[in-house]
Amino acid sequence: MNINYPYLLFIGDATDSLSIKMARSAADWSPEKCLAEYRLPGCTVSTGCPEMNIQEAAAAGAKSFVLGFANSGGILDPQWIPTILEALDAGMDIVSGLHDKLTDFPELTERAKALNLQLIDIRHPNTRFKTGTAKKRQGKRLLTVGTDCSVGKMYTSLSLTKEIKSRNLLATFRATGQSGILVSGNGVAIDCVISDFISGAAESISPDNEAEHWDIIEGQGSLSHPAFAGVSLGLLHGSQPDALVVCHALGRTHMRGLPHQGFPTVIETIELNLTHAKLTNPNAKVVGVAVNTSSVDDAAALQACKEISEQTGLPCCDPIRHGVASIIDNLP
């Protein structure tokens, strides 16, 4: 995979901050790669990058036009085709993390071929994976898991990796979703792997390593979410984590997108994940809880983390507000 930068992050007319998490992830964690964002009328969210249109960004040196939004089902809305063609004509590669493939649209493939430009579908792996083996691998592994989807597993994983490296220890962030792949430049979008091969794919992205090296593996979905539990389970088994960090968002009363589905507690999430983690690593343990406290003020955030820590006996923090040093201090 060769993703050229700087990026022009296209967020369209989005109104939900979670719907542009791919663009925001790149802006937050790879700001040196992000030139600007392109917003259309009606857009009420932002990555914080300067605003430019396609022609302005091309003149400023943008190399890739990143579709930085997501929608239910990962569909490429036909209304964006003219905009993508404009970006191609301006000399930019196109990068997408949607389920729909850019290469399935003849008008895009023809234009990209004529201009010798790339259509990069980072959600779709081109590697043939094997089934999982559960064989012990050298090195250490930490997996982030969640009470729900979109609770901060990628941000937590990147924060943990950064903290470990700041201590002059060995660590590598292992991306398992389109946003993480855009940040790191490699990885496997695990939700696009055929179900029989999910655990094998997870094994392949965290191979044998130095004994003291930590692979920090980005979690996906939640074992408690009816739509995504299958992916979460395969990733859990293939990761064979020595350590788990539970990610949680304050203020939710039901699973994301499912108003009829109740929300699990942090303790229930710990127990559920440990039960299944022990299939491939009997020594797996939970080492901390990372909480997205963006819905409350600083005082309420500290109080919430204190209460969860008292309930679980584990360090608890908001990676953005408080950092993750307390969790790293608790690694085995």
- pLDDT (tens digit, 9 = 90+) per residue, 102-161? 999 999 999 999 999 999 999 888 788 999 999 999 999 999 999 999 999 999 999 999
- In this structure, what token pair is assigned to residue 41? 């009328």
In tens, the pLDDT along 223-272 reads 999 999 999 999 999 999 999 999 999 999 999 989 999 999 999 999 99
Residue 1 has a pLDDT of 62
Q: Kindly tell me if the per-residue pLDDT of 72 is higher than 70.
A: no
Question: Residue 8 in contact with residue 36, Cβ under 8 Å?
Answer: yes
Q: Residue 196's closest CA among 234, 237, 167, 161? A: 234
Question: Residue 251 in contact with residue 297, Cβ under 8 Å?
Answer: no
Element containing residue 313 per DSSP (H, E)? none
Max distance between CA atoms of the chain, in angstroms, equals 61
Question: Residue 94 in contact with residue 119, Cβ under 8 Å?
Answer: yes
- In this structure, what token pair is assigned to residue 235? 């990733």
Is 140-328 in the same CATH topology as 7-121? Answer: yes
In tens, the pLDDT along 198-218 reads 999 999 999 999 999 999 999
Q: Kindly tell me if the per-residue pLDDT of 174 is higher than 90.
A: yes
Distance CA 284, CA 245 (A): 11
Residue 186 has a pLDDT of 86
- In this structure, what token pair is assigned to residue 126? 């081109």
Classify 175 as helix, strand or coil: coil
In angstroms and rounded to an integer, the radius of gyration of the C-alpha atoms of the chain is 20
Question: Residue 215 in contact with residue 259, Cβ under 8 Å?
Answer: no
Distance CA 276, CA 253 (A): 25
In tens, the pLDDT along 254-267 reads 999 899 999 999 99
Distance CA 99, CA 97 (A): 7
Question: Which residues 6+ apart lie within 8 Å of 219 measured at CB?
Answer: 143, 144, 145, 146, 153, 157, 176, 232, 235, 247
Distance CA 300, CA 298 (A): 6
Band of residue 197 on the pLDDT scale cut at 50, 70, 90: very high
Looking at domain 140-328, which CATH architecture does it have? 3-Layer(aba) Sandwich (3.40)
Q: How many CA atoms, within 13 angstroms, populate the side-chain half-sphere of residue 297?
A: 1
Question: Residue 147 in contact with residue 221, Cβ under 8 Å?
Answer: no
Task: Please tell me the chain's helix, strand, coil percentages from 3-state DSSP, rounded to the nearest 5.
Answer: 40, 20, 40
- In this structure, what token pair is assigned to residue 209? 């390593």
Residue 269 has a pLDDT of 98
Q: Enumerate the domain spans of the chain.
A: 7-121, 140-328
Distance CA 193, CA 189 (A): 7
Q: Kindly tell me if the per-residue pLDDT of 16 is higher than 80.
A: yes
Q: How many CA atoms, within 13 angstroms, populate the side-chain half-sphere of residue 83?
A: 19
- In this structure, what token pair is assigned to residue 314? 């584990």
Classify 205 as helix, strand or coil: helix
- Enter the DSSP assignment of 100: S
| Percent of the chain at pLDDT exceeding 70 | 99
Question: Residue 43 in contact with residue 71, Cβ under 8 Å?
Answer: no
Distance CA 23, CA 243 (A): 29
Q: What CATH number labels 7-121?
A: 3.40.50.720
Residue 280 has a pLDDT of 98
Residue 159 has a pLDDT of 98
Between the two ends of the chain, the Cα-to-Cα distance in Å is 34
